[in-house]
Structure 1
């Protein structure tokens, strides 16, 4: 299904403030046709309504989405997997966690699992690293899950995403290189305006909010993206902005967390939808999103928002965010002429 808006479930890190069924209802009410489902929401639903059964929670979620005509785009995030130095933990992730996720995606009616680049912090006691940046280990680990996914019926796909605070993989270029090395038909990339601009263009620790030579560096990178990326390997894209912070995100800042990279703290607290400059948005995400279109990408556009505003206990919070989200998407659709692009794709196929 081409160029249909999908909005991420809006409670990662804060399950229970607003119920998953209510968030799904509001997404459907405002015209979203799909959702990214966060495992944390599913887990919370299991504990509050299904005596801890994640399988029952998945069935419940699928029933709600079917009744609302919402497609579940993916299940995410399958975190802290690749490059683990503790190979026993790696094996547990494959034999226990991934097996469960395969069962869940079948129930949910999706075939896609998202894997964010690893940002597992050092051991809290010894301070020793818990991951390796050795490319052959990372590629081998990701190839393993891809091969297991191909054995499922139906096959399961994986979308690898570089987080702008990732320990070893923090740029789309690094992510794309790994996707090519994994070299499996069911292993692709997720491109995210926030994580691309948030690494190349933005620096929340800087008084300017930008990296040195931000504009030039971004221009070079997105030009490379257009020339390099195979659109068939882009499984979905995400489009959101973020706030320009009035003061650098360093020690003493309200968002500062000594055990988190600054970009991670910024991401968790200060994302915005596109076209929300009045709220402080400043990333050149439309330039990045336009590059996605230029690659020939034809899939789901998702709005993945993390923000302190989602912690507002007001019961109208899901409704307000769904409204902001669809308003943003419609502006994006117009700015990028996504409807025209979709029509040309269909004509070409005919």
Structure 2
């Protein structure tokens, strides 16, 4: 309850299993809610009210009265009544109308209300239209319907009929997202419901029908999955509140109007592309990381005497290597496995707009002073994405002031006539399992990133779940891929020492993959040794010339095509330390993927390097 209040919610539902196991009485819960300034909006669920067994139904009415006693102590007047999934459920509408009418009379006499909900697996009533038709025919002011997005959308039902239900007869709204899965709907419901913005349901369309119906009650969340109850309550509540704000913002945009109680977020600021990276390396890994960057065409151009930072530049790109080991991981007692990506710098002419927007969604963001600069010169706003990695929104002026603050020039060399790499193509981040959905929601809500179809990628410790998100900016595309290793959590060592092959990497884009590989080789890069069997397979699957295949094999270049003219060439460095590596890519013909089909080949070569 404290987490719910702190997150910004107005009220909450009391879930009966939580109350039954709680050491606090209903009256104590009501007092705590009042002290926190939140309301108890619903008690749920009341299961299996209707019954074809008259004796059982009469006993259910007695049980109903006892729940009214409890609700009076809670200070709550609304009870969720689910349609019955039992074999003894009423299967005649006339009998069901009579039984719900009798229950509604009991509620009216006690100053209570009943919200009737169709369970997707109900024996007789399993659609919202059927539930509403029963409620309509009962015609009692004490009986309305409750709409649950999961029960409606999981069946593939058309939610447009919601607009035909008078808003005042929708007593309650429960929302949940979910990934598209093919499985028993009950198991899907119990294990895979997530917050809006974390799944694949069209909740924006669903929410627009709710708004059009005239419903003016709470927008609530009913979530069941295997992770959220294990997570810290504060973080879970913050993610939950953010998910409703995210949904309401998109519903308002979809409808073209903002009406109560919809949330209107501050507008996003301008954004361009990724221009800088900070990699925490420590004193041991800094030299090895520097060599890899030199291979990629970066040169060590300056250093910071006070903060132990080394500046590597190439064209407009900058990579800072942090030779110190400080609080890279925020979890107490968790060791730092280095090198690791600590900061992603993104160009924005108005970072303060992003700070305002982030705060509106409950995301911690702050203006920061970069090492060696003064506050007036700054234009940097920092948001934490993972426990280890932050995203910095930087103005052009702040970047110039920051680079000018590097006061040592230990070595300068002649850069290549043309940059080897020209942009950051994408970044892959290792994400703990219990943070996955929250990070996904942050990127979608604050930045409006679009998720793409997830992938299961073979990794050295099994299967890694990978999810790419993109943001088209007008200056290119920002791509971030989240990689989750089963069993990894934010409360354990985030990068186990036994890990090999890596799940975090930085991919740079180039205009000419063969030219880039050749120049990198001239700078000392040794390509990964890719199996000859791979190139034999490419020759069988694609119409690539013998000469091109020979050059690709020489430089360890991998290939994919999307079937619509898009092509993808890419190659990798060995892993630096235990987890981080680099990739160089060339996209042709609008290819939008990441060459996931080559992951096993990449991994095998890295393990042998």
**More helix per residue: 1 or 2?**
1
| Among candidates 176, 179, 197, match of residue 135 of structure 2 | 179
SS in 1 for 2:260: helix
TM-superposed CA distance for 1:306, in Å, is 1.0
TM-superposed CA distance for 1:336, in Å, is 2.2
TM-superposed CA distance for 1:319, in Å, is 2.3
SS in 2 for 1:178: helix
Q: Aligned equivalents of 1:222 and 1:38: distance in 2? A: 26
SS in 1 for 2:197: coil
Contact 2:216 2:261 in 1 (8 A): no
Q: Which runs of 5+ in 1 are unaligned?
A: 1-23, 51-56, 121-128, 202-217, 250-261, 345-350
The Cα RMSD (Å) is 1.8
Q: Aligned equivalents of 1:341 and 1:232: distance in 2? A: 16
TM-superposed CA distance for 1:311, in Å, is 4.7
Cα distance, 1:92–1:330 mapped onto 2, change above 3 Å: same
| Among candidates 78, 81, 90, match of residue 57 of structure 2 | 90
Give the equivalent residue in structure 1 for 2:566: none
SS in 1 for 2:227: helix
Structure 1 length normalisation: TM-score? 0.70
> Cα deviation per residue 1:299-322 (whole Å; 9 max; x = unaligned)?
11101111111453xxx4322321
Q: Aligned equivalents of 1:80 and 1:320: distance in 2? A: 34
Contact 1:239 1:289 in 2 (8 A): no
Q: Aligned equivalents of 1:302 and 1:311: distance in 2? A: 17
Give the equivalent residue in structure 1 for 2:242: 327
Cα distance, 1:140–1:66 mapped onto 2, change above 3 Å: same
Paired residues, number = 259
Give the equivalent residue in structure 2 for 1:8: none
Contact 1:194 1:285 in 2 (8 A): no
Q: Aligned equivalents of 1:283 and 1:131: distance in 2? A: 30
Larger Rg over CA atoms:
2
Check if 1:103 corresponds to 2:69: yes
Contact 1:160 1:175 in 2 (8 A): yes
> Cα deviation per residue 1:73-94 (whole Å; 9 max; x = unaligned)?
0111110111x12222211111
Give the equivalent residue in structure 2 for 1:254: none
Structure 2 length normalisation: TM-score? 0.41
| Among candidates 136, 154, 157, match of residue 198 of structure 1 | 154
Cα distance, 1:186–1:309 mapped onto 2, change above 3 Å: same
1:51-200 matched pairs, under 5 angstroms: 57-82=25-50, 84-95=51-62, 97-120=63-86, 129-152=87-110, 155-199=111-155
Contact 2:205 2:251 in 1 (8 A): no
Q: Aligned equivalents of 2:113 and 2:191: distance in 1? A: 30
Check if 1:31 corresponds to 2:8: yes
Give the equivalent residue in structure 2 for 1:40: 17
**More strand per residue: 1 or 2?**
2
Contact 1:160 1:187 in 2 (8 A): yes
- Name which structure has the greater RCO, CA cutoff 8 Å, separation 6+: 1
TM-superposed CA distance for 1:164, in Å, is 1.2
Q: Aligned equivalents of 1:238 and 1:131: distance in 2? A: 24
Q: Aligned equivalents of 2:261 and 2:54: distance in 1? A: 49
Contact 2:171 2:217 in 1 (8 A): yes
Contact 1:240 1:271 in 2 (8 A): yes
> Cα deviation per residue 1:199-244 (whole Å; 9 max; x = unaligned)?
1x2xxxxxxxxxxxxxxxx5xx333322x21111011211211122
Check if 1:302 corresponds to 2:237: no
Contact 1:274 1:332 in 2 (8 A): yes
Contact 1:162 1:171 in 2 (8 A): yes
Q: Which runs of 5+ in 2 are unaligned?
A: 263-609
Q: Aligned equivalents of 1:166 and 1:342: distance in 2? A: 33
